[in-house]
Amino acid sequence: MTETVFRRRSVASALNPAGMVQRRFRAWWMARLPRTDTTLLTQRNVYILPTGAGWMLALTLLVLLVASINFQLNLGYLLTFLLAGSAVAGMHVCHATLRGLSLHLKPPAPHFAGDSAALEVQLTSERRSPRMAIALAVQGSGQWSWTDVPAQGTAVVQVAFAPARRGLHDVPVLTAETRFPLGTFRVWALWRPAAQVLVYPAPEPHAPTLPPGESLGGDAPTTQSAGSGEFDGVRAYRRGDPQKLVVWKKAAQAMATGTDALVSRDTQQSQRSELWLEPGRTGLVDPEARIARLTAWVLQADRLGLRYGLRLADSVVPQGSGAAQRLRCLEALALC
C-alpha cells in the first residue's frame, strides 16, 4: 500500500514539475525564516508586487501614452504622468505602511481539538502617522483580520488557527499584508513565530457515567457509580456544607417533584475509595476513542468536584482535584 502511494505521488510530481519546483522553493523559503515571537518589519523582509488592478493601470497608462504620442495630445501627456505619479506615490505609501511595524505574538492558550484558537498579535508603531488597512492571517488560509494601527500606538489582532489533531503544534507561518492606499500594489511580509500551542483532545459528546472507584487497599471496585453520574454515599444537606458537595442533579429532581430536600456527598465514604481513570476502563478499542472518553471523564469529575487520578501507558497523574488537576490531566492526554 505504501509503495503504491509513493508511486502515485512520484507520477503526479513528474506530471507537474512546476508544482514540485514551487513546493521546493516554498520549503526553502520557509526554512530561511527565523523563528521568533517578536519581529520588526524592515526593508529586508517586506516584499511588494503589483496587483491585478496595478497591472491593468500599467496597461492603461501604456495605451494612453501611445495615443498621446500618435495624436499629439498635450492633455493626454498630462493625464498619463499624473496617473503614473499617483501610482508611484501609492507604491511608496503602501510599502511604508508595513515597513517599521513591530509584531509580537502573545503566548497562545490551550484549547480543545476542533475548536478555533485565536492567536493574539500585537502591532506596535513608532511612526507619527497612523498605519491603515493592515491584515494578518495564517499563510494560505485566506481568513484575514484587519486593523488600523494608531500613530505611535498599538493595536491587537486575533488570527484564527484551528489544528485538527491533539498534541503540541507549532504556530503556523503568519502573513501581514496591506494594499493601502490605491490597491494597485500588494505589500506583504512572512513571519514564523517560535511559540507552540497545546491542543487538548476533543471530549466524547455523550460519554457514559464515571467508572466505579477503587478501594484504598487495591481490591476490586467498591464504590459504585450511580446512574445519574454521581457516586453513591450521599446524606442529607447540613448547614455549612460547601456548594461543590451538593448533588445538584438530585436537587433539581427534588424541586421538580415539589420538594426542596438537598443532599450532599458523604466525604467519609469517598475517602475510603479512589477514582482512577485509565484507558482499560473505557470499554473501547480505538486509541483515540479512549482518549476522547477519558477527556470527557476528566471534565465530568472536575465538574462534580471529585478527587481523581489518571493512569496512562507512559505517565501517571496522581490523585487531586481542582483546576490544576484538570489541566494536568488534559495535558497528559494531549501528549500521550
- Measuring CA to CA, how many Å separate 60 from each of 55, 67, 90, 253? 9, 11, 17, 76
Give the total residue count for the chain. Answer: 336
What does each of the 336 residues of the chain score in pLDDT, given as a tens digit?
Answer: 434 444 554 444 555 677 777 778 777 777 778 899 999 999 999 999 999 999 999 999 999 999 999 998 999 999 999 999 999 999 999 999 999 999 999 999 999 998 888 899 999 999 999 999 999 999 988 899 999 999 999 999 999 888 889 999 999 999 999 999 999 999 999 999 999 999 999 999 999 988 887 776 544 454 444 444 444 445 566 666 666 666 666 666 666 666 666 666 655 555 567 889 999 999 999 999 999 999 999 999 888 878 899 999 889 999 998 899 999 999 999 998
CA pair distance 172, 24, nearest whole angstrom: 18
**Greatest C-alpha distance within the chain:** 104
Burial 36-67 (b: 16+ CB within 10 A, else e): ebebebeeebbeeeeeeebeebeeebeebbee
d(CA 292, CA 297): 9
Using alpha carbons, list the distances in angstroms from residue 63 to 57, 69, 86, 154: 10, 10, 17, 44
Task: Yes or no: say if 19 and 147 are a contact pair by the CB < 8 Å rule.
Answer: no
pTM to 2 decimals? 0.76
